[in-house]
Amino acid sequence: MRSAQLALIAALSTALFLVGLALDISWLRLAAKPWPVLAMAAWVWPKGDRRIAWGLIFGAIGDVCLAIPGAFVAGMLAFAIGHGLYAKAFYSWQRSLSVSLLFPVLIYFAVTVPITLSASGELVIPVAVYMSIIGLMIWRAAVIAVDESVSGIKRWAALIGAVLFAFSDTLIGINKFVTPLPDCSYAIILLYWGGQALIAAAAVARTSQSFTPNT
């Protein structure tokens, strides 16, 4: 499927989801929500690192699970697998350890994790593990961003995408476990889609680099 067709699918499903969100039509939100990310996966699959494509697919599964009552943990598991795949791909792109880059990540999570975990009840362990995987993904994306041998999308898209994804997840955690955030659904989904799109773009931008895709 051509990139233009995939972009059209993503745009239409995004519009339908936002209509469903604005009009509170749950079935429309559920039907439309996974398609933008699935379109991204289809874009990456023939052109970029398939670990990223698989991560996007698991993200789409997580999208559906989060929209189904009682499936929050299943959704969190799907997203955790996706984050792990992203981290693995990022490490293969740049294998430097750069341990010092962990400190900004640790500072961010030192602020957000206690707030979220203190209110997560019986989900404290799954949430802690999930947030640790997010931190790992951001760290590996940051290592790519300090690599001066690459530039533009190849250098920055993964980190910006990972940070947007983390902000989206932070809003979800605060809204679910700490205090309701009025009208936060728009910010959550737009940050999430933006993050996924940038991670997908980073994978496609690295097409010219050699890698062995996981199938």
- 8 A C-beta contact, residue 188 and residue 168: yes
CA neighbor of 116 nearest in space, from 134, 140, 94: 134
Give pLDDT, residue 1. 74
Cα 57 to the center of its chain, rounded Å: 11
Q: Which two tokens stand for residue 159?
A: 């980190």
Give pLDDT, residue 209. 54
Burial class (CB in 10 A: 0-12, 13-18, 19+), 2: exposed
Angstrom distance (rounded) from CA 4 to CA 144: 29
- Relative orientation angle of helices 152-173 and 102-117, to the nearest 10 degrees: 20
Locate tokens 């690459």: which residue?
A: 150
Q: Which two tokens stand for residue 103?
A: 């400190």
- pLDDT (tens, 9 = 90+) of the chain, 215 residues, equals 789 999 999 999 999 999 999 999 999 999 999 999 999 999 999 999 999 999 999 999 999 999 999 999 999 999 999 999 999 999 999 999 999 999 999 999 998 888 888 889 999 999 999 999 999 999 999 999 999 999 999 999 999 999 999 999 999 999 999 999 999 999 999 999 999 999 999 999 987 454 444 44
Q: Give this prediction's pTM.
A: 0.93
Angstrom distance (rounded) from CA 4 to CA 167: 29
Give pLDDT, residue 107. 93
